Structure 1
């Protein structure tokens, strides 16, 4: 079961809201809105996606990684490395 299972409805609501933001961006570009206004909305959408990513990462650490560490062994090391790689990807984004 995914670590975000208990928060799935909230995550889905946030993603639908972000989807609406992206559609709004498409309309702005189609309407030739002012560049800075579009960039402002791109920034807001990016921040919203980053917020969802952090929530998912927190759930992963609190559920999947924590469970693997409790079980011990190689799976724990793999889950920690996987989480570390995910954090690195988020930092680069």
Structure 2
């Protein structure tokens, strides 16, 4: 059983939905987001120093890729826990919810 599956016990469909990530997953996500935050600050510095546009654009592409990775981790955990749990409980509205979310991620 994966760490994601081990955390399914927490409710995903209450009026105040909360995440269900293990501490290891949270630390991984926080570490990734801290790096992304640093990259964004780096781009600000590059612009202040009039860095060559292509270099800035390459850094932006790197940040977008890093954010996509964070999104994939969150999406996988969500689908393996909350979505499955809600479908098993007969709440099929979660399918429309996840489709809307995926459309936003793919823009």
Q: State the alpha-carbon separation in 1 of the partners of residues 41 and 98 from structure 2.
A: 31
Runs of 4+ in 1 over 4 A off after TM superposition: none
User: Partner of 1:2 in structure 2?
Assistant: 19
Per-residue CA deviation, residues 29-48 of structure 1 (Å, 9 max, x unaligned), is: 01100000000000000110
Structure with greater proportional helix content? 1
Structure 2 residue corresponding to 1:15, chosen from 33, 36, 49: 33
1:10 deviates by 0.8
Q: What pairs up with 1:14-93 in 2 under 5 angstroms?
A: 14-72=32-90, 75=91, 77-92=92-107
Quote how far apart the aligned CAs of 1:9 are. 1.1
Report how far residue 50 of structure 1 moved. 0.9
Which structure 2 residue ranges, 5 or more long, are not aligned?
1-17
Question: Normalising by structure 1, what TM-score?
Answer: 0.89
Q: C-alpha root-mean-square deviation of aligned residues, in Å?
A: 1.0
TM-score (norm 2): 0.78
Runs of 5+ consecutive residues of structure 1 not aligned to the other structure: none
Relative to structure 2, which stretch is displaced further, 63-72 or 32-41?
63-72
